Amino acid sequence: MTEVRTLHPTTDQYAFAFGGREPLLTVAPGTIVELSTEDCFAGKVRSVDDLPSVVCEFPFLNPVTGPIAVEGAEVGDTLTVHFVEITPARDWAASSTFPHFGALTTTHATAMLHEALEERVWIYELDVAAGVCRFQARRTDFSVELPLDPMHGTVGVAPAAGEVLMSITPAAHGGNMDTPEMRAGVTAYFPVNVPGGMLSLGDGHARQGEGEVCGTAVEAAMRTVVVVDLVKGGAPVSPRIESDGFLMTTGSARPLEDAYRMSQHDLVGWTGSLLGLEQLDAYQLVSQAGLAPAGNVVDTNYTMVAKLPKTLLGATTAYDGLHDRLRAVGADYLRTR
């Protein structure tokens, strides 16, 4: 019987960084964890009048739940997280522009002489039962329903080399990759850089466009269920994701072509390894069969995702079929709770 643990941080237990923290919870590999996460505004943006730059205080942005230590996780291992369920915790979510943040505005790094764009908040009504959220324009009456597609923008482990990185940064340890692929039903693989690995997650999105162009998604507190597991050895260079249909690799860097290169480089290597292909043969296969959606183009590093359909794998499975086994564990949990 799979062990089930819970992790519901109090307000002062949220972390705002990866690395440098004692675990809030320690679990054995294979444990199911029911947990809650706050939104990226730490829950302080509750109406269109709550401007983030007023109600939020730097650096207390993008709270994450964790860290969760995994028993037996050693440097070089692969910490595995299977997302069983990601459910919005409230019937609303918030989004906003934010001064000097986003892809189509002057920022600290892409520094320009323009005044910041207007800061503006949008509140979305969520209807979990119907599976939709509602966008309401602020300057006109236009309104439209969008499909719910809940996911976590921020999932990661403690970085290598003793670094402590703000939770808004995506890098080799994961972090704020902001890819809509991190949804329920997928399994994510992270390198273990410190004993226990130290998994944290947060930044739930009721849905998100690829690239997250304005800098924020439909930001929502979440009730999330994961299976936390461990593969001995095999630490990936950057986080990998597996869904029922796809193998996925990620790269987080600037410029965006370097993020693309990192993700494709790892997918070529992974594909070659699984199929016994020589490197250039794997390069060729990925070139013709791969997908390459943007994750985010707004954070301190940009993230690209590389995807390969698992139909190409035939009977071959990644990580010895771990995704399917965790999928079954999740299904069993949902059926029996």
Site for a copy of itself in 273-312 (CB under 8 A): 275-281, 283-294, 297, 302, 304, 306, 312
Considering only residues 28 to 57 of the shown chain, the ones binding a copy of itself according to CB under 8 A are none
Considering only residues 181 to 210 of the shown chain, the ones binding a copy of itself according to CB under 8 A are 207-210
Q: Which is nearer to a copy of itself, 27 or 45 (CB)?
A: 45
Q: Which is nearer to a copy of itself, 31 or 169 (CB)?
A: 169
Considering only residues 47 to 106 of the shown chain, the ones binding a copy of itself according to CB under 8 A are 58-59, 95, 97, 103-106
Exposed / middle / buried, residue 1 (Cβ in 10 Å: 0-12, 13-18, 19+):
exposed
Give the nearest distance from C-beta 49 to a copy of itself in angstroms: 16
Closest by CA position to 94, among listed 51, 46, 132, 62: 46
Asked if 117 interacts with a copy of itself (CB under 8 A), we say yes
- Residue span binding a copy of itself (CB under 8 A) among the ranges 14-22, 33-41, 224-232, 320-328: 14-22
Closest by CA position to 248, among listed 237, 259, 264, 235: 264
The Cα–Cα gap between 99 and 254 comes to 21
Closest by CA position to 193, among listed 331, 20, 24: 20
Binding residues for a copy of itself, rule CB under 8 A, total: 91
DSSP string, 90-108: SSEEEEE-BTTBSTTS--S
Considering only residues 123 to 162 of the shown chain, the ones binding a copy of itself according to CB under 8 A are 135, 137-140, 142, 144, 146, 160-162
Answer whether 195's CB lies under 8 Å from 210's CB: no
Considering only residues 162 to 181 of the shown chain, the ones binding a copy of itself according to CB under 8 A are 162-166
CB contact set of 194 (below 8 Å; sequence gap of 6+): 19, 75, 157, 158, 160
Binding letters toward a copy of itself, positions 221-250, x by CB under 8 A: ----------------x-------------
Answer whether 62's CB lies under 8 Å from 200's CB: no
Half-sphere exposure in the Cβ direction for 29 (13 Å, CA): 15
- Residue span binding a copy of itself (CB under 8 A) among the ranges 26-34, 45-53, 183-191, 263-271: 263-271
Give the nearest distance from C-beta 117 to a copy of itself in angstroms: 6
Give the nearest distance from C-beta 288 to a copy of itself in angstroms: 5
Closest by CA position to 62, among listed 289, 282, 215, 244: 215
Q: Which is nearer to a copy of itself, 174 or 330 (CB)?
A: 174
Give the nearest distance from C-beta 199 to a copy of itself in angstroms: 19
DSSP H or E run through 308: strand 302-309
Q: Which is nearer to a copy of itself, 102 or 330 (CB)?
A: 102
